[in-house]
Amino acid sequence: MINIVLFGAPGCGKGTQAQRLKERYGIDHVSTGEVIRDEIRRGTELGRSMEEYIREGKLAPDEIVIGMIEHYVTEHMNARGCIFDGFPRTTVQAEEFDKILAKHGLQVDIMVDIHVPEEELVRRILLRGKDSGRADDTSEEVIRGRLDVYRMQTAVVADYYAAQGKYASVNGTGTMEEVFGRIADVIAGLK
Ligand code: AP5
Ligand code: MG
């Protein structure tokens, strides 16, 4: 069983790498951003309450995202483990996540922090925005705002896992295969 927190700024490749890790290791993948976008697509009450946060590139309230993850862990955790993509994004979320996992006798094994220079992040997201249909991908102003939110509210979560000796940083530039190789090396080092 291996639980991986895939971390890093918007556009660093969390979703891309999560998909590959899922295939390689046969573990689950949950992205809180995807869960929120799905709620919005389905027009649920929760989705409607989230629309503005997503459109403006702001973080959704902790209690709502923590509730989503608690539901996910309770319903889906399988014996092999899971990749948590885009969660936790605040220290409060990280603390509550530990408690939720502990209730199920589980824990985070490693946070993998994917580093990419800011201009490359903006370039990647603008490119994806041409056909992603994501409300937060099209305007450079919103994209830069998401990067500010990451720097000011989220980056600190790395310290939480570093303090537990569960932190690894990888270079997120180069081809998708190269980045995957670096993450696979970190995972191999865990065993
Ligand atoms: P979320 O959906 O998590 O978005 P994000 O963190 O902004 O990250 P992205 O999904 O944009 O990028 P990614 O790192 O997954 O990169 P990707 O693989 O797609 O969150 C969206 C919103 O939901 C938040 O702003 C917030 O409002 C809310 N939210 C979510 N979680 C929350 C939480 N925990 N608390 C509160 N609010 C929350 O790659 C990006 C692009 O680059 C793709 O086109 C890809 O093909 C390309 N690419 C990938 N790797 C490479 C490479 N090596 N070389 C070149 N291109 C590459
Ligand atoms: Mg993503």
pLDDT of residue 175: 98
Q: Is residue 54 over pLDDT 90? A: yes
Rounded to whole angstroms, the Cα distance separating 41 from 46 reads 11
- Mean pLDDT, all residues of the chain: 96
Q: Return the best residue to mutate from 4, 5, 6, 14 for the ligand 1 pocket (most ligand atoms within 8 A of CB).
A: 14
The per-residue pLDDT for range 142-159, each reduced to its tens digit, is 999 999 999 999 999 999
Q: pLDDT grade, residue 51 (50/70/90)?
A: very high
Q: Is residue 78 over pLDDT 80? A: no
Rounded to whole angstroms, the Cα distance separating 121 from 175 reads 14
- Could you give the angle at which helices 91-103 and 62-76 cross, rounded to 10 degrees? 30
Share of the chain above pLDDT 70, in %: 98
Which chain residues have CB less than 5 Å from ligand 2, an ion? 14-15
Q: pLDDT grade, residue 113 (50/70/90)?
A: very high
Rounded to 10 degrees, what is the CA torsion of 74, 23, 4, 31? -60
Domain positions in the chain: 2-184
User: What pTM, to 2 d.p., does this model score?
Assistant: 0.97
Rounded to whole angstroms, the Cα distance separating 4 from 161 reads 11
pLDDT of residue 77: 74
What's the CA-to-centroid distance between 173 and ligand 1, angstroms? 15
Q: pLDDT grade, residue 12 (50/70/90)?
A: very high
Output the CATH code of domain 2-184.
3.40.50.300
Strand, coil or helix: what is 59? coil
Mean pLDDT of 155-171: 98
